[in-house]
């Protein structure tokens, strides 16, 4: 295209148009720097977010279904406490899933149902609706999606460590989180025990290890306190007996450590066997609508969490059991929501700042192009005398603006890619200059994470292109409104 080739010619630095060339080079440099800064910042925050999210999901699954108050107030949930076949105890979601009957009540043997209790929920065929089995069926009917029940319990953990003839006791209240057999990404948070047993994460989470009743995985903070793999202790909890509440103890062995990431309650979680968790949970009878138990939903592409959530809700609605379940993605969990929202706010804030910086940087283009228009006045007249229309003239100077924007984006992107490829070297140098680590490994890990976000690259390309085009509009209009006869007469 003729306009484009003329624009390219105009942008080539020349000694004859020194001032224009200097401003053009400075503009390109400033915009490149801004693009570089934005890409590096977003790549690092995306990398961090991904690592944090991965750790979070490895602990909690990308989607969870928690029973609602409707569930706990339902005939379906309450009936177990007066049914002999349920041992007169309320059941967890997992137990309900495995229970042989949807309605365990036997009118002949069991006590009379209180008159104020809700009635059983029947479908249009008159069959009793099973919210738990129905939910499992609804979830697993979606392609590539798995479901498993989860359960938490609260206990007191006591650990004894003896090293170099020094005995230490550690006691901490903790949340027990049961191993989930459907969780195929738990190895992402298990820390290899290189210094002690030499076992890798995969070797630490063998089926034997995770199904054992005594093995537990504790957070890496215990390792920092001197606990090693193989240390022993017990979990204590209080269970009602015929006489009173009595302390019960279950022996445990530290089978490994995990990195809880930045979950606020991360340091309090202990990953334990499913049987142990279930036992303590049943004894303390601690179920609530937000935390105690529910259904984990597993699938590979966590970016599609919102879509999967909508599909699940749709299926639950079709089955008539949506009122019994609260479906949440990992971004909506009570203990992660604040963090995810904060990350999103920071990204939005920095995006706004970035756009403002780009606008300021691109404003240089306006001055440069106005100078260029004045410099090329005679050529504008000559081109018009040969039939170039005002639109063509405007396009030449508009293209100059866009070309400068795109060139700067290209340079900035290459510089950002180079920086990201050598990020650890650069951070190492900065740390050496500063005398201590620039970034705390507790938050950022041992290696600074980064992942080039193509959404951001696209955003940068479009925004710099657009802002540069806008910057080129005023000079382009000025050029297109010039009258050829006046120019040629004056020249």
Partner 1 sequence: MKVLQAHNVHKTFHRPAEVRVLSGIDFGISEGETIAIMGASGEGKSTLLHILGTLETPSKGSIEINGATVTRNTKHAIRNKHIGFIFQSFHLLEDYTTIDNILMPARIGRKSVKKGYPAYLHAQELLEMVGLSYREHFHVKLLSGGERQRVAIARALCNSPDIILADEPSGNLDHATSQQVHEILISCARQHNKAIIVATHDKELAGMCDTIYILRDGILTRK
Nearer to partner 1, 14 or 163 (CB): 14
Positions in 10-29 near partner 1 (CB under 8 A): 14
Is 389 a binding residue for partner 1 by CB under 8 A? The answer is: yes
Angstrom distance (rounded) from CA 89 to CA 74: 15
Q: How far is the CB of 404 from partner 1 (least distance, A)?
A: 18
Beta carbons of 484 and 385 less than 8 angstroms apart: yes
Angstrom distance (rounded) from CA 100 to CA 133: 11
Look-up: residue for tokens 């260029």? 372
Of the candidates 352, 345, 179, the residue with the CA atom closest to the CA atom of residue 277: 179
Q: What are phi and psi of 209, to 5 degrees?
A: -65, -40
Long-range contact list for 240-246, CB < 8 A, 24+ apart? 240/283
Is 484 a binding residue for partner 1 by CB under 8 A? The answer is: yes
Is 490 a binding residue for partner 1 by CB under 8 A? The answer is: no
Angstrom distance (rounded) from CA 155 to CA 71: 26
How many residues belong to the chain? 491
Beta carbons of 65 and 298 less than 8 angstroms apart: no
Q: How far is the CB of 375 from partner 1 (least distance, A)?
A: 11
Among 164, 242, 489, 490, binds partner 1 (CB under 8 A): 489
Among 385, 422, 431, 441, binds partner 1 (CB under 8 A): 385
Of the candidates 445, 441, 448, the residue with the CA atom closest to the CA atom of residue 420: 448
Q: How far is the CB of 57 from partner 1 (least distance, A)?
A: 56
Is 479 a binding residue for partner 1 by CB under 8 A? The answer is: no
Among 292, 381, 401, 449, binds partner 1 (CB under 8 A): 381
Q: Which range in 261-269, 324-332, 384-392, 419-427 contacts partner 1 by CB under 8 A? A: 384-392
Q: Is 349 exposed, middle or buried (0-12, 13-18, 19+ CB in 10 A)?
A: exposed
Among 378, 421, 443, 462, binds partner 1 (CB under 8 A): 378
Is 379 a binding residue for partner 1 by CB under 8 A? The answer is: yes
Angstrom distance (rounded) from CA 4 to CA 381: 18
Among 392, 406, 428, 461, binds partner 1 (CB under 8 A): 392
Beta carbons of 209 and 215 less than 8 angstroms apart: yes
Q: How far is the CB of 385 from partner 1 (least distance, A)?
A: 5
Angstrom distance (rounded) from CA 439 to CA 248: 44
Residue 212 gets the label, from left (phi > 0), alpha (psi -120 to 50) or beta, of beta
Among 40, 138, 383, 460, binds partner 1 (CB under 8 A): 383
Q: How far is the CB of 50 from partner 1 (least distance, A)?
A: 49
Nearer to partner 1, 2 or 117 (CB): 2
Nearer to partner 1, 120 or 390 (CB): 390
Among 26, 245, 429, 488, binds partner 1 (CB under 8 A): 488
Is 477 a binding residue for partner 1 by CB under 8 A? The answer is: no
Strand, coil or helix: 391: helix
Locate 98 and state its tokens. 């495995």
Is 2 a binding residue for partner 1 by CB under 8 A? The answer is: yes
Helix, strand, coil percentages in the chain from 3-state DSSP, rounded to 5: 55, 15, 25
Is 398 a binding residue for partner 1 by CB under 8 A? The answer is: no
Is 8 a binding residue for partner 1 by CB under 8 A? The answer is: no
Nearer to partner 1, 455 or 486 (CB): 486
Q: How far is the CB of 484 from partner 1 (least distance, A)?
A: 5
* Size of the residue set binding partner 1 (CB under 8 A): 23
By the criterion CB under 8 A, which residues form the site for partner 1? Answer: 2, 5, 9, 14, 378-379, 381-390, 392, 483-485, 488-489, 491
């Amino acid at each position: 295209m003729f306009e484009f080739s003329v624009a390219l010619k105009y942008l080539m630095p020349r000694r004859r148009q020194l001032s224009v060339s200097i401003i053009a080079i400075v503009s390109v440099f400033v915009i490149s720097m801004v693009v570089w800064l934005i890409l590096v910042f977003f790549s690092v925050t995306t990398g961090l977010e991904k690592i944090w999210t991965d750790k979070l999901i490895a602990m909690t699954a990308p989607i969870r279904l928690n029973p609602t108050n409707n569930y706990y107030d339902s005939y379906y949930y309450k009936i177990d406490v007066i049914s002999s076949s349920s041992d007169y105890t309320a059941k967890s979601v997992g137990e309900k899933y495995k229970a042989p009957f949807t309605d365990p009540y036997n009118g002949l043997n069991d006590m009379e149902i209180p008159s104020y209790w809700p009635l059983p929920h029947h479908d249009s065929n008159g069959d009793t609706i099973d919210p738990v089995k129905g939910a499992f069926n609804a979830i697993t009917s979606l392609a590539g999606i798995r479901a498993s029940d989860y359960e938490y319990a609260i206990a007191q953990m006591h650990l004894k460590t003896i090293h170099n003839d020094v005995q230490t006791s550690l006691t901490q209240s903790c949340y027990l989180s049961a191993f989930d057999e459907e969780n195929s990404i738990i190895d992402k948070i298990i820390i290899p025990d290189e210094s002690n047993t030499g076992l890798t994460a995969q070797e630490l989470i063998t089926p034997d290890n995770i199904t054992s009743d005594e093995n537990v995985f504790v957070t890496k903070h215990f390792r920092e306190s001197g606990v090693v793999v193989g240390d022993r202790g017990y979990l204590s909890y209080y269970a009602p007996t015929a006489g009173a509440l009595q302390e019960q103890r279950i022996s445990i062995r530290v089978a490994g450590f995990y990195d809880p990431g930045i979950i606020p309650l991360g340091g309090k979680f202990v990953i334990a066997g499913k049987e142990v968790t279930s036992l303590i949970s049943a004894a303390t009878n601690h179920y609530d609508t937000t935390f105690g138990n529910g259904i984990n939903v597993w699938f590979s592409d966590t970016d599609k969490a919102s879509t999967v959530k909508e599909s699940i809700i749709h299926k639950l609605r079709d089955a008539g059991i949506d009122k019994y379940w609260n479906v949440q993605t990992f971004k909506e969990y009570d203990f992660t929501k604040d963090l995810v929202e904060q990350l999103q706010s920071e990204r939005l804030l920095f995006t706004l700042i970035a756009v403002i910086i780009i606008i300021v940087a691109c404003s240089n283009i306006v001055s440069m192009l106005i100078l260029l228009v004045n410099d090329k006045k005679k050529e504008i007249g000559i081109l018009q005398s040969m039939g170039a229309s005002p639109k063509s003239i405007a396009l030449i100077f508009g293209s100059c603006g866009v070309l400068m924007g795109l060139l700067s984006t290209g340079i900035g992107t290459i510089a950002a890619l180079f920086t990201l490829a050598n990020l650890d070297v650069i951070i190492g140098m900065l740390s050496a200059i500063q005398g201590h680590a620039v970034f705390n490994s507790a938050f950022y890990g041992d290696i600074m994470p980064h992942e080039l976000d193509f959404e951001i690259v696209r955003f940068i390309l479009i925004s710099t292109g657009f802002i540069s085009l806008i910057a080129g509009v005023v000079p382009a209009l000025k050029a297109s409104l010039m009258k050829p006869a006046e120019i040629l007469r004056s020249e």
